[in-house]
Amino acid sequence: MPLKRKLLGLAVAAVAIPAAVAVVPNAFAAGPDLLPLTITNDSGRGEPVHLYVLGVSGGRLGYVTEAGAFTPWTGGANPPAPAPDVSIDGPAPGAAKTISVPKGLSGRMYMSFGDKLDFRLTPDGLVQPAPWAGGDANANFLFDWSEFTYNDAGVFLNSSQVDMFAVPHSVSVTGSDGRTLTTGLLEPGGRQAVIDGMKADPDFAKLVKTRDDGTVLRVLSPGKGAEGSGFPAGYLDGYIDRAWAAYANTDLTVRPFLDQPDKVFLGRTSGDVLSFRDASGAQVATFTKPSTADVWGCDGNLGAPNDLVVGPIARSLCAALQRGTLGTQAVEPSTDPATFYRSEPVNLYNKLIHEQMVDGKAYAFAFDDVANQESLVHSGDPTSIGITLTAF
Residues serving a catalytic function are 147, 163
Distance CA 126, CA 133 (A): 16
User: Residue 345: is the preceding peptide bond cis (ω within 30°)?
Assistant: yes
Which residue type, as a one-letter code, is found at position 67?
Answer: A
Q: CA-to-CA distance for 203 and 222, rounded, in angstroms? A: 9
The answer to whether the CB of 314 falls within 8 A of the CB of 290 is no
For 164, residues 6+ apart whose C-beta sits below 8 A from its C-beta are 131, 132, 144, 218, 219, 220, 221, 224
| Residues 207, 280 contacting (CB under 8 angstroms) | no
Give SS3 for 34.
strand
Say if residues 2 and 306 touch (Cβ distance below 8 Å).
no
Angle at 197 between CA 194 and CA 199, to 5 degrees: 110
